[in-house]
């Protein structure tokens, strides 16, 4: 056909493009937030950016890990809310440093300062745990 239909074809293709623009936003939301329900309970991870993450869990008995890249003297704020069970947390740098280990975290707020620039793995363990752990990088602490 030599001629296009005037408005129907144009408006239809524009409408089809709008969902395509939302696709990257939807993919980012899925990657930054995940929820897993297993026989060991339910765990939900939210990582809105590269400086923080929150893990919520219910009747959870397993181990999960998150990773953050930190600079020397970065201070982490860790908030623990525990309704039931036991929660453990280990922070370990890939170069071998281990700035924090706790096996039975109590509800509350505390800080940890890392001594070297590294990629740190935060390993959370739960024993029938119901609660929440939030980790946020506050940045470099003045010496």
Note the pLDDT tens digit of each residue in 111-138.
Answer: 999 999 999 999 999 999 999 999 999 9
Q: What domains lie within the chain, and their CATH numbers?
A: 34-140 (2.60.120.380)
User: Pairing relation of β-strands 118-140 and 63-70?
Assistant: antiparallel
Under a CB-based contact definition with an 8 Å cutoff, are residues 135 and 100 in contact? Answer: no
pTM for the complete prediction? 0.71
Nearest-10 Cα torsion for 50, 73, 119, 107: -70
Q: Which helix (H) or strand (E) holds 23?
A: helix 7-32
Q: Output the six-digit token pair for 81.
A: 């809310």
Min mean pLDDT across 34-38, 95-99, 131-135 is at 34-38
Confidence label for 142 from pLDDT (cuts 50, 70 and 90):
confident
CB atoms within 10 A of CB 57: 27
Instruction: With a cut of 70, say whether residue 10 has pLDDT above it.
Output: no
């Amino acid at each position: 056909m030599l001629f296009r239909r005037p408005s129907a074809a144009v408006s239809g293709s524009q409408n089809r493009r709008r969902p395509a623009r939302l696709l990257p936003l939807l993919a980012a939301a899925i990657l930054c937030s995940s929820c897993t329900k297993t026989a060991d309970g339910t765990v939900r991870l939210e990582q809105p950016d590269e400086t923080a993450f929150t893990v919520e869990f219910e009747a959870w008995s397993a181990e999960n890990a998150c990773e953050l890249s930190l600079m020397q003297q970065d201070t982490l704020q860790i908030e623990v809310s525990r309704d039931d069970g036991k929660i453990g947390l280990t922070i370990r740098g890939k170069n071998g440093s281990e700035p924090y280990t706790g096996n039975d975290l109590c509800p509350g707020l505390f800080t940890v300062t890392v001594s070297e620039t590294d990629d740190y793995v935060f390993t959370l363990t739960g024993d029938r745990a119901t609660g929440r752990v939030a980790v946020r990088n506050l940045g470099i602490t003045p010496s």
